[in-house]
Amino acid sequence: MVVKSWIQRFQNYLAGNHPRFPGVVAAAVAMGMSQLGYWEQLEQLGYNALFKIRPPIGWDERIAVIAIDQASLQEYGQFPWRRDRYTQLLQALKKSPPAAIGFDILFVAPSPLDAAMAKAIASKGNVVLSVAWDAEGKLLPPVPVLDKAAANVGHILHDPDKDGISRQATVFVESLPALAPAMLDVYKTRAGVQLALPKPDAGEKMPKVWINWPGTTQALPTYSFADIVEGRVDASVLANKLVLIGPTAIGMDPLRSPLNQDPPTAGVYLHAALIDNLLNNRLLQRTPEWADILLLLVIGAGTSWLLFNRQLKDRIVIGLILPPTWFAIALTAFIGGNQWLPIAAPISTILLAGLGVQLREQYEKQQLMNLFAQHVAPEMAEVIWERKEEIFENGELEAQELTATVLFMDIRGFTTISETLAPRELLTWLNLYLDAMASCIMEHGGIIDKYIGDAIMAVFGIPFPQAQEEHVKRDATAAITASLAMHERLQVLNERFQEENRPLIRFGIGIHTGPVIAGTIGGAQRLSYSVLGDTVNVAARLEAMTKNLTSDNPYQILLTDRTFGYVSDLYAGQEFGAIQLRGKETETMVYSILGKLPVKTD
């Protein structure tokens, strides 16, 4: 019972008019797609776009690169080089020693020249060498003599994203630091500077950080290896710098950043970017997962609320404004706070929320049209939809007490006619008549309440409450106008029936204006919109009395004095007789309609 009760409550909630619900659903869909990785590619494109739009923040002036470039290869020959080349470089840097030197080069195989290089490394006291792993996961450390001479070692593991862009750096593999933090550790110790460096995390084997690329790699001071060794560049430019040494020649160690994609740059610049970020405490920060979930919920619900109960053109305008607005917010956070906010998921949530609101409205409109479409003209159905807030409460059509004009009409002698026609022929004949009459009623703003065999019950003045007398007068006038139109339409239809040798039709119409209760009637499986009340009974009673109208009366229409009082300035009528209505102490005069009064001219 408890479960059933909660299910019923949830169903009622869904049926309700909750402005934020489509947005919450959109957020849930976006979160699910995010968990499945559907937004990853789009978020990566957003990452690239943020870097391209943001003005460069500039590389830290303490960083420089000595490049094994195409010119150095032409001068010294094919790579790899003998160890004495690196010994020569270290000796060239003696006059203006850098603060730390990092080799983005592996020295795995022993060499007869290792001792000399080890001596040069040891004399510097600030050289950091690289380690890596082979394809089978085996560690590739520097040869022991060089390893012992180095101030530190760091790994050069490089793991680009699926699109080839390097967005993250692995700062540790278990307790082994990356080349950049290994160099900064040496720099911190030797220079005595205060630096907040990352530490190994026992719970995470390979912690990663997001790289905040300071600019294009062309903007970072880079010097040719051969130029430094040969003295063509004053070594003082590297004094007290954090110097990285690595290959940059085409095809040697390609790397793509969001700012250097085609042609690619070199892997040594990834270490330079990480050094820059750690030196200036400007690593890119991403929002935690719980914050992303909260963000999507807020954006989804907010978008849904903004779009709720608005015209389609307003929704389109808002829908066009919100995505670039969010992108602008993300760009501001990126520039001002080094925050990488998600872009694809929030914008998709905005679009999904907009779609959800539109689909929800279409569903509600379909439900409303299912309720009214067979009873009113399309124009009236649109009016009902546009003014739905006046008659709906919490997603349900509320019962209303209002003043309306009820019309009842019936075919004279239908039972006798039905006995002379075959069932199929009878239905065809009857439907032609009902369709013609219903068109007249709906063309004049009436609502077909129901068909009762050959009888039609129509109402003018629903579903909206008519608070002013002129509105009630308008509805009563529309009922009379529709009745006269039905008489004219019946003449045309009878001419057709006569040509087709079908029975001719005569009808009677009863009209009364008074209070009714309007609302949905039926069970959960089938609902209909209808009116109840004594006004309905009076109109039905008047319709039955039209059998007593004489043949010389031009229209078979009877109406109460209240209805006639609303239309007497437009239509001529005569007293037919008085009837006693239930709950009335005095009799009610009944009128028949003689026709439209001539238009007065001044």
More confident position, 338 or 33: 338
Q: What is the C-alpha separation between 62 and 241, in angstroms, rounded? A: 5
Q: Give residue 438's identity as a one-letter amino acid code.
A: A
Report pLDDT for 210: 94
Model confidence at 524, pLDDT cuts 50, 70, 90, reads: low
List, for residues 44-95, the tens digit of each pLDDT value: 899 999 999 999 999 999 999 999 999 999 999 999 999 999 999 999 998 8
Q: How many alpha carbons fall within 13 Å on the CB side of residue 575? A: 6
Give the DSSP H/E element, type plus range, for residue 315: helix 312-337
Report pLDDT for 525: 64
Q: What is the C-alpha separation between 554 and 577, in angstroms, rounded? A: 17
Q: What is the C-alpha separation between 160 and 181, in angstroms, rounded? A: 19
More confident position, 525 or 435: 435
Average pLDDT value for the chain? 86
Report pLDDT for 145: 95
Give the DSSP H/E element, type plus range, for residue 480: helix 469-499
More confident position, 26 or 15: 26
pLDDT over threshold 80, residue 129: yes
List, for residues 555-587, the tens digit of each pLDDT value: 999 999 999 999 999 999 998 888 887 666 778
Among the listed residues 154, 130, 139, 167, the one whose alpha carbon sits nearest the alpha carbon of residue 270: 167
Report pLDDT for 367: 66
Of 139-153, 383-397, 410-424, minimum mean pLDDT range: 383-397
List, for residues 225-263, the tens digit of each pLDDT value: 999 999 898 878 999 999 999 999 988 899 999 999 988
Centroid of chain to Cα 416: 62
List, for residues 200-228, the tens digit of each pLDDT value: 887 788 899 999 999 999 999 999 999 99
Report pLDDT for 118: 94
In total, the chain counts a number of residues equal to 602
Give the DSSP H/E element, type plus range, for residue 179: helix 179-191
Of 50-59, 103-112, 319-328, 397-406, minimum mean pLDDT range: 397-406
Strand 208-210 vs strand 168-170: parallel, antiparallel, or unpaired? antiparallel
- Structural contact between residues 39 and 344, judged by C-beta atoms closer than 8 angstroms: yes
Q: What is the C-alpha separation between 569 and 287, in angstroms, rounded? A: 74
The owner of tokens 């439900």 is 367
pLDDT over threshold 50, residue 14: no
Rounded percentage of the chain residues whose pLDDT exceeds 70: 88
DSSP, collapsed to helix, strand or coil, labels residue 267 as coil
Q: And the tokens for 413?
A: 């002698």
The separation between the first and the last C-alpha atoms of the chain, rounded to the nearest angstrom, is: 75
- Structural contact between residues 519 and 397, judged by C-beta atoms closer than 8 angstroms: yes
More confident position, 594 or 367: 594
Report pLDDT for 249: 93
Q: What is the C-alpha separation between 285 and 87, in angstroms, rounded? A: 40
pLDDT over threshold 80, residue 131: yes
Q: What is the C-alpha separation between 486 and 508, in angstroms, rounded? A: 11
Q: What is the C-alpha separation between 444 and 439, in angstroms, rounded? A: 9
Q: What is the C-alpha separation between 475 and 116, in angstroms, rounded? A: 108
- Structural contact between residues 515 and 402, judged by C-beta atoms closer than 8 angstroms: yes
Among the listed residues 74, 348, 384, 336, the one whose alpha carbon sits nearest the alpha carbon of residue 227: 74
Model confidence at 196, pLDDT cuts 50, 70, 90, reads: confident
Of 309-318, 336-345, 467-476, 512-521, minimum mean pLDDT range: 309-318
Q: Average pLDDT for residues 541-557, to the nearest whole number?
A: 87
Cα separation values, 595 from 544, 547, 574, 592, Å: 21, 19, 10, 9
Report pLDDT for 60: 94
More confident position, 190 or 431: 431
Give 514's DSSP letter.
E
Give 115's DSSP letter.
H
Q: Average pLDDT for residues 357-368, to the nearest whole number?
A: 72
Of 295-309, 422-436, 513-527, minimum mean pLDDT range: 513-527
Residue by residue, DSSP assigns 15-61 as HS--TTHHHHHHHHHHHHHHHTTTTHHHHHHHHHHHHHHSPP----T
Report pLDDT for 368: 63
Among the listed residues 104, 96, 156, 95, the one whose alpha carbon sits nearest the alpha carbon of residue 127: 104
Report pLDDT for 153: 96
Among the listed residues 585, 586, 463, 435, the one whose alpha carbon sits nearest the alpha carbon of residue 528: 463
More confident position, 168 or 383: 168
Model confidence at 360, pLDDT cuts 50, 70, 90, reads: confident
The owner of tokens 């609320």 is 305
Report pLDDT for 393: 56
Report pLDDT for 445: 87
Q: What is the C-alpha separation between 24 and 327, in angstroms, rounded? A: 21
- pTM check: above 0.75: no
